Amino acid sequence: MFSHHTNLNEPLTCLNSPPAKVCLKMVGGIGDCIIALGGAAKALSQQGYEVTVSCREFQKPLITHMSGVHSYVSPSTLNDPSARSKFDALIDFAKVFNSRRALKSGGYYRLASERLQTSFGPGEFTFPRKEIYKKVVALHAGASNFNRCWPIDKWTRLAEILVGNGYTVAWLGTKDDFGFNASRVFKLSDVTDDLTLQAQSLAGYHYFIGNDSGFAHIAGVLGIPGRVIFSVIHPDDVISFYPSLSGAHCFSEDNQPSLSLYPDDDRAEANMKEISVEDVLEGTPFSASVCTPLDRTAGKKLRLGVCDVSQEVVNYLQEYFEIVSEEYDLLLKKEETCYFIHSEKGKAQVLGSNPESIRTAIREISSTINT
DSSP percent split of the chain into helix, strand, coil, nearest 5: 30, 20, 45
Pairing of the two strands 180-181 and 297-298: antiparallel
| Non-local CB neighbours of 354 within 8 Å, separated by 6+ positions | 263
Whole-number pLDDT of residue 370? 52
DSSP annotation string for 72-105: E--TTGGGSHHHHTTSSEEEE-TTSSSSHHHHHH
Give me the pLDDT at residue 3, please: 35
The pTM of this model reads: 0.88
Domains and CATH numbers, the chain: 21-116 (3.40.50), 133-281 (3.40.50.2000), 301-366 (3.40.1630)
**Cα dihedral sign for 132, 134, 137, 143?**
positive
pLDDT at 320: 86
The predicted pLDDT at position 8 comes to 34
Q: Which amino acid is at 26?
A: M
Amino acid 171: pLDDT: 97
Query: Which pLDDT does position 16 carry in this prediction?
Result: 59
Q: Are 223 and 238 in contact (CB under 8 A)?
A: no
Per-residue confidence (pLDDT) for residue 18, from 0 to 100 = 65
**Under 8 Å between Cβ of 152 and 169:** no
Residues of the chain with pLDDT under 50: 1-14, 371
- Residue 275 to residue 287: CA distance in whole angstroms: 17
Q: What does the CA dihedral 48, 31, 125, 67 come to, rounded to 10 degrees?
A: 10
